[in-house]
Chains A and B, each alone.
Chain A
Amino acid sequence: MANTVNALNKKITLEQALSYMEDGMTIMFGGFGGVGNPPSLIEGMLQKGLKNLTLIGNDAGFPHIGVGKLVSEGRVKKLIASHIGSNPVAGKLMTEGKLEVEFSPQGTLAERIRAGGVGLGGILVDSGIGNPFVEKGKEKVIVNGKTFLLETPLTADIAIVCGHTADHFGNLTYNTSARNTNPLVSMAGRVTIAEVDQIVETGALSPEEIVTPGVFVNAVVQSEGVNWKWAWEEK
Chain B
Amino acid sequence: MGLGREIREQIARRAAKEIKAGMVVNLGIGIPTLVADFVPSSVAVMFHAENGVLGTGPSPVKGQENPNLCNAGGFPITAGVGASYFDSATAFAIIRRGKLDMTIMGALQVSKSGDLANWIVPGKRVPGMGGALELAEKAKRVIILMNHTDKYGEPKIVNECSLPLTARGCVDLIITEMAVIEVTSLGLVLKEVFKPFTVEQVMALTEAQLTVESTERS
Residues of A within 8 A of B (CB): 32-36, 58-59, 62, 81-86, 91, 94-95, 101, 103, 105-108, 110-111, 113-114, 127-128, 130-134, 174-184, 211, 226, 230-232
Contacts and interface: CB of A to CB of B under 8 A. Distances in A.
B128 A84 contact: yes
Given A106-B134, A176-B85, A82 B128 contact: yes
Given A134-B133, A175-B68, A226-B67, A127 B96 contact: yes
8 contacts: A82-B130, A94-B126, A107-B134, A110-B89, A134-B133, A177-B53, A226-B67, A232-B76
A91 B137 CA distance: 26
Interface string B63-99: 0011111111111110100000111110111011000
B133 A179 contact: no
A106 B130 contact: yes
Given A130-B168, A131-B133, A180-B51, A85 B92 contact: no
Contact of B87 (A34, A83, A132, A184): A184
Nearest to A162: B68
B129 A82 contact: yes
Contacts, number: 145
A94 B138 CA distance: 30
Nearest to B73: A33
B134 A176 contact: no
Contact of B92 (A33, A111, A230): A111
A177 B127 contact: no
A235 to B, nearest CB: 15
Contact of A177 (B52, B137, B167): B52
A34 B71 CA distance: 12
